[in-house]
Amino acid sequence: MTNFMRNLIHRFRNVVRPRFRIIEVEDDFPEMMESRALYVLSEDGDTWAAAMVCPCGCRTVLHLNLIADQRPCWYLNRQGGGSLTPSVWRRDNCGAHFWFRGGRVYWTPDQPHTLMRDLRLWRG
């Protein structure tokens, strides 16, 4: 495959791949969460947790710890739409494994049917 084709496919995938928005909450996460949203829980200005509806379509709520001295732990960078480090990997149930970069979900190469999963995100 030529570099031109790779770039064309990459650009198409970024058009198809919807953006998530960051929603700040205090006290607790809402009972009904929107898809395509990363909820960030803060208390007294300290961010300590994040949650999102699993982007694979299974509708499970993923809870992510943002406290550095507890494990497992993710780091949230709010620049450029938001990014999480390291990748998010559900080792049970749906097995979703993805990177959250620039407010978008990027499926890891081991995930099947990633384009279909991206299209499913548009439906919510």
pLDDT tens string 33-78: 998 999 999 888 788 999 999 998 889 999 999 998 999 999 999 9
Query: What's the pTM value of the predicted model, to 2 decimals?
Result: 0.79
Q: What is the β-pairing status of strands 37-43 and 21-26?
A: parallel
Domain total in the chain: 1
Q: How far from the centroid of its chain's Cα atoms is residue 78's Cα? A: 13
pLDDT in tens, 91-121: 888 889 999 999 999 888 877 656 555 556 5
Q: CA geometry: angle at 56 spanning 50 and 57, to 5°?
A: 100
C-alpha closest to that of 57 among 110, 103, 107, 9: 107
Q: Which domain holds residue 31?
A: 3-123
pLDDT in tens, 7-37: 676 666 666 677 899 999 988 899 999 989 9
CA pseudo-torsion sign 30, 91, 10, 79: positive
